[in-house]
Amino acid sequence: MNQIIIHVDMDAFYASIEIRDHPELKGLPLIIGSLPSERGVVATCSYEARKFGVHSAMNIKEAYRLCPSGIYRRPNMEKYRAISSQIREIWKSYTPLVETVAFDEAYLDVTDQVNNFEDARKIGLEIKEKIKQKTGLSCSVGIAYCKTAAKTASEEDKPNGFFEIPTPKDFIDLIIDRDVRVLHTVGQATAKKLYSYGIKTVRDVRENSETVINLFGKQGQLIVNFAFGIDERKVIPYRPEDAKSISREVTFQQDVTNYDLLKDILVLLSLCVEKRAKQHGLSGNGITLKITYADMKGITRSKRIFASNSAALIWKEAVKLLDKVDKRPVRLIGVGIHDLSIDENRQVSVADILSNDTENRDKEISHLLMKLENRYGLNFTENLEKIYKADTLHKTVEYMRKHF
């Protein structure tokens, strides 16, 4: 038997949670993300807002231009994360092969749990019902013979949809005359380049396969395969150690020109990275500094390090990288670790023992926090758990910017 994949996609997840908790928002164009007076983007929006042309990742100013009558709310990530955990438990109750794409989306390989599509249909319908009962939220479910077809199926009848694509022929018949963007990996830039060659539909891809492959190489081969209904990718359960990097960043509401302030903010971002890395027992073998300047030009600077998840070390190396960049107004700053490795099995060397490295770094980060407390009049040490949360972090950074 070939694969049987279920794709589950929550409907306007963040917005639906807010509507559930605030019924007076039902039927209104609700936009979750930054506020119109702030810098930022749309995280998600209700289907009523989408009728105005608003969509996720859109600049919040553009969203407000399209929908000035919309209801704008900041996201409550802690609440969304908790509900996502409930949903994931439901998914995992059916199969260990769950590949989560985001808080609200996942592929489930049920090949070993079912004998046919009829059995898979029962599971898909049960998942919809259990999620509704547990969270009060709706989701759309697609069932298919491969991942790309399953995702297409879940999008076919949103919201609260249910759709099946049992065979490659069914998939091809469904999409052959649709825009190329229906194919996995074809985003706006890729589509624009295909259009310039007169390749606008899936049928065009099939008829110009060699051109597509020549244009995009390995990605082009994937696009061609998808256009012919071929997708041999497996569902791969996420493991923290499979992540490519761990990072944290903030966007300022006004550009920052004082680089000493940026160094202070890097202390908090480094602590956020440390916390997440230690939660998963991971260390990084490299440090990355990310900056977006006021003119929207972005740069990244990286440096190799010995495997570490220490906030003190992350901060120290990030500051060295910051000292070397062009000193221009900054819109966004971020820091992260990459080239991750599992920390728990690392042997402790004689040098580690003699250096008392951990103790020294704990003292160093405590000293940095004390300096911040004296400068800003905030109790960072006792409020770190709150600062780790995205909303509090951004409010704290804005307070620091205004009071530096």
- Active-site choice (18, 105, 274, 317): 105
Please, what is the end-to-end C-alpha distance for the chain in angstroms?
A: 64
- Give me the tens of pLDDT residue by residue for the chain, a chain 404 residues long: 589 999 999 999 999 999 999 999 999 999 999 999 988 899 999 999 999 999 999 999 999 999 999 999 999 988 999 999 999 999 999 999 999 998 899 999 999 999 999 999 999 999 999 999 999 999 999 999 999 999 999 999 999 999 999 999 999 999 999 999 999 899 989 999 999 999 999 999 999 999 999 999 999 999 999 999 999 999 999 776 667 899 999 999 999 999 999 999 999 999 999 999 998 888 999 999 999 999 999 999 999 998 889 999 999 999 999 999 999 999 999 999 999 887 644 433 333 433 445 556 678 888 999 999 999 999 988 888 888 888 889 999 999 999 98
Which CATH number do you get for residue 392?
A: 3.30.1490.100
Note whether 32 and 83 are same-domain residues: yes
Whole-angstrom distance, CA of residue 270 vs CA of residue 286: 13
Provide CB contacts within 8 A for 355, sequence distance 6+: none
Tell me if 170 is assigned to some domain: no
CA distance 337 to 248: 10
Final residue belonging to a domain, choices 114, 134, 165: 165
What residues have CB less than 8 Å from 37, skipping those under 6 apart?
Answer: none
In CATH, what number is assigned to the domain containing residue 182? Answer: 1.10.150.20
What strand order describes the sheet that includes 30-33? 42-45, 30-33, 71-73
Answer yes or no: do 223 and 244 share one domain: no
Same domain, 180 and 308: no
Q: Is 105 a catalytic residue?
A: yes
Q: Which of 134, 165, 196 delimits the end of a domain?
A: 165
Q: Based on the domain organization, do 279 and 368 belong to the same domain?
A: yes
| Domain shared by 269 and 349, yes or no | yes
Q: Which two tokens stand for residue 110?
A: 């049920």
The verdict on residue 21 lying in a domain is yes
CA distance linking residue 305 with residue 284, whole number of Å: 8
Domain housing 199: 176-227
Rounded distance between C-alpha atoms, residue 71 and residue 9, angstroms: 24
| Residue in 96, 75, 71, 101 with CA at minimum distance from that of residue 10 | 101
Output the domain CATH number for residue 63: 3.30.70.270
Contact in structure between 381 and 67 (CB atoms under 8 Å): no
Number of Cβ atoms within 10 Å of the Cβ of 290: 20
Q: What is the CA radius of gyration of the chain?
A: 24
| Domain count of the fold of the chain | 3
On whether both 275 and 399 belong to a single domain, the answer is yes
Q: Assess if residue 51 is contained within a domain.
A: yes
- DSSP SS3 for 327: coil
**CA dist., res. 394 & res. 404, Å (int):** 15
Residues 185, 134: one domain? no
| Whole-number Å distance between alpha carbons of 387 and 389 | 5
